[in-house]
Amino acid sequence: MPVSHPPGAAAPAPSRSSDSLNLPDPRHAQRVPPHIGRAQLERIRRAAFLLPQVVTPADYSDDAGNPTVQLDRLGLVLLQKAAAGARPSRWIDPALMDSALAHLEVVGSGGTTLPQMLERRAALEANGVVREGGGFVREVQKPLSVPVPEGRPWSITVAFRVPVDAELAWAFHRSGNLEALRAELGAPPPLVGIEAFEDDMIVIGYRYWAHSKRYYETLYGVNDAIHVALAAAHIHLASRRIIATNEEH
């Protein structure tokens, strides 16, 4: 007997089964976007080892020491089960399936594709961009000079990570355009931290690049911008001084 729906109400979306999509885990069929059909999903599955959008348990970890559970909990789709002693399981975020298909349209899945992808991943890492879970971060290093009473300053390097738009990484994997990658990355972001704890104040230190001909213009401009940002955030300083350190000019 046909099922009727209230006037104006949309009919419920048909349930998707693992049999229709040929997935290793039947539960994950419901995670696949409705517009991704079996043929498209099969294309992704066959090229899983080539796709930068695909992750393995090694890209994740959790407190229980079982990253596979974490991948499932995050709503990823299992594309390939692990093969003992041969390969890890492979997963993809459903939101990245369109990106994966676009990637295959550009680079294909021929015999030269894997070396090309490995080369481009190495180029990303050489420019400080590394995979972290489902996204990417940029590893930045900043040299610091630490004052030492009655002695020469210590020279140390502070390393930190900043998020990178994943689309930048996908675009580079497609094109391999190193100049475009570096242009999009731009200069490393400024480093902000506690410069010193004084008797009556906390000194905020920040490092950034400034042209020597515009040193003081940049210095005072940054100071003013910080005052405005602190005021907008309703942060009131006991002292009106903000000491800027800028040794990279």
Q: What are phi and psi of 218, to 5 degrees?
A: -70, -45
The verdict on 219 and 148 lying in the same domain is no
The verdict on 103 and 32 lying in the same domain is yes
Higher local confidence (pLDDT), 228 or 16: 228
Q: Which pLDDT value is given to residue 198?
A: 66
User: At which residue do the structure tokens 């015999």 appear?
Assistant: 111
Total domains in the fold of the chain: 3
The verdict on 182 and 225 lying in the same domain is no
Note whether residue 144 is domain-resident. yes
pLDDT in tens, 184-243: 988 777 666 666 666 666 677 776 777 788 888 888 888 888 778 777 877 666 544 444
Higher local confidence (pLDDT), 68 or 7: 68
The verdict on 104 and 21 lying in the same domain is yes
* 104, 119, 126, 150 from 178: Cα distances, Å: 20, 12, 11, 46
Query: In 3D, which of 58, 57, 59 has the Cα closest to residue 136?
Result: 59
Give residue 15's pLDDT band: very low, low, confident or very high (50, 70, 90). low
- Provide CB contacts within 8 A for 44, sequence distance 6+: 51, 54, 79, 92, 97, 100, 101, 104
Note whether residue 7 is domain-resident. no
Q: Which pLDDT value is given to residue 104?
A: 96
Question: What are 226's two structure tokens?
Answer: 């910080």
User: At which residue do the structure tokens 């350190």 appear?
Assistant: 245
Note whether residue 94 is domain-resident. yes
> Is the pLDDT score of 46 beyond 70?
yes
Whether the CB-CB separation of 120 and 106 falls below 8 Å is answered with: no
pLDDT in tens, 112-140: 999 999 999 999 999 999 998 889 999 88
Residue 118's domain spans which residues?
A: 110-187
Q: Which pLDDT value is given to residue 176?
A: 94
List the single range of 31-45, 61-75, 94-108, 218-232 with lowest mean pLDDT.
61-75
Q: What is the mean pLDDT of the chain?
A: 81
Question: What are 159's two structure tokens?
Answer: 């390393």
pLDDT in tens, 55-90: 999 888 654 567 888 899 999 999 999 887 778 999
Note whether residue 238 is domain-resident. no
Q: Which pLDDT value is given to residue 143?
A: 74
Q: pLDDT above 90 covers what percent of the chain?
A: 43
Note whether residue 241 is domain-resident. no
The verdict on 116 and 100 lying in the same domain is no
The verdict on 151 and 124 lying in the same domain is yes
Higher local confidence (pLDDT), 38 or 5: 38
CA dist., res. 30 & res. 14, Å (int): 10
The verdict on 61 and 77 lying in the same domain is yes
